[in-house]
Amino acid sequence: MTRFRYSRWDGTQVGFELDADDILAEVTDNLLYHGDLNSALRRLMQSGFRDRNNERIAGMRELLEKLRRRRKEMLENRDLGGVYEDIAERLREVIDKEKGGIDDLVQEARDAEPPDPRRQEITEQVAGEKRMQLDLLPPDLASRVRELQEYEFTSSEAREQFDALMDELRSQLMQSYFNQMSGAMANPDPQQMQRMKDMFNDLNQLLELREQGADTQQPFEEFMDRYGDMFPGNPETLDELLEQMAQQMAAAQAMLNSMTPEQRAQLQGLADQLLEDMDLRWQVDRLSNNLRNAFPGAGWDRRYQFSGMDPLGMAEAAGLMNELGDIDDLENMLRSAPSPGALADVDISRARDLLGEDGARSLERMASLAKTLEEAGLIEQRDGSYELTPKGMRKIGQNALSDLFSKLARDRLGRHQLERSGIGHERSYETKPYEFGDPFNLNIERTVRNAITRTGGGTPVHLSPEDFEIERTETVVRSSTVVMLDLSLSMPMRDNFLAAKKVAMALHSLISSQFPRDFLGLVGFSSIAREIKPEELPRASWDFVYGTNMQHGMMISRRLLARQTGTKQIIMITDGEPTAHLIPGDPEPFFAYPPVQETIDATLQEVMRCTKEGIRINTFMLDATEYLKRFIEKLTQMNRGRAFFTTPETLGDYVLVDFIEQKRAMRTGGSRSA
Integer CA distances (angstroms), 1 to 5, 6, 7, 224, in order: 13, 16, 20, 47
Give the pLDDT confidence score for residue 604 in this predicted structure. Answer: 93
SS3 588: coil
* pTM, rounded to two decimals: 0.61
Task: Please state, in angstroms and rounded to a whole number, the distance separating the CA atoms of residues 287 and 178.
Answer: 11
The pairing of beta strand 615-622 with beta strand 643-646: parallel
Per the CB < 8 A criterion, the answer to whether 242 and 294 are in contact is yes
> Does position 373 have pLDDT exceeding 80, yes or no?
yes
**What would the pLDDT profile of 496-548 be if each residue is shown by its tens digit?**
888 888 888 888 887 777 777 888 899 999 999 999 988 888 888 888 888 89
**What would the pLDDT profile of 249-259 be if each residue is shown by its tens digit?**
888 888 888 88
> Does position 646 have pLDDT exceeding 60, yes or no?
yes
- Tell me the percentage of the chain whose pLDDT exceeds 90: 10
Task: Please state, in angstroms and rounded to a whole number, the distance separating the CA atoms of residues 479 and 518.
Answer: 5
- Determine how many CB atoms are found less than 10 A away from the CB of residue 561: 22
Give the pLDDT confidence score for residue 564 in this predicted structure. Answer: 87
Q: Establish how many alpha carbons lie within 13 A of residue 326's alpha carbon, considering only the half-sphere containing its beta carbon.
A: 19
**What would the pLDDT profile of 143-185 be if each residue is shown by its tens digit?**
888 888 888 898 889 999 988 888 877 777 776 666 655 444 5
CA-CA-CA-CA torsion sign (134, 138, 141, 143): negative
Angle, alpha carbons 380-385-388 (nearest 5°): 40
Per the CB < 8 A criterion, the answer to whether 58 and 362 are in contact is yes
Greater confidence, 610 or 380? 610
Greater confidence, 128 or 440? 128
> Does position 654 have pLDDT exceeding 70, yes or no?
no
- The residues spanned by each domain of the chain are 20-62+341-388, 86-176, 421-474, 479-667
List Cβ neighbours of 464 (8 Å cut-off, separation of 6 or more).
Answer: 451, 454
Give the pLDDT confidence score for residue 622 in this predicted structure. Answer: 79
Mean pLDDT score across all residues of the chain:
79
Per-residue pLDDT band at 3 (split at 50, 70, 90): low
Task: Please state, in angstroms and rounded to a whole number, the distance separating the CA atoms of residues 507 and 501.
Answer: 10
> Dihedral angle at the C-alpha atoms of 514, 520, 526, 528, nearest 10 degrees?
170
Greater confidence, 581 or 389? 581
How does 564-603 read in b/e, with b if 16+ C-beta sit within 10 Å? beebbbbbbbbbbbbbbbbeeeeeebbbeeebeeebbebb
Task: Please state, in angstroms and rounded to a whole number, the distance separating the CA atoms of residues 326 and 578.
Answer: 58
Q: Does domain 479-667 have CATH number 2.60.40.10?
A: no
Per-residue pLDDT band at 9 (split at 50, 70, 90): low
Q: How many residues does the chain have?
A: 674
Q: State how far Cα 165 lies from the chain centre.
A: 48
Integer CA distances (angstroms), 389 to 32, 375, 381, 383, in order: 15, 12, 10, 14
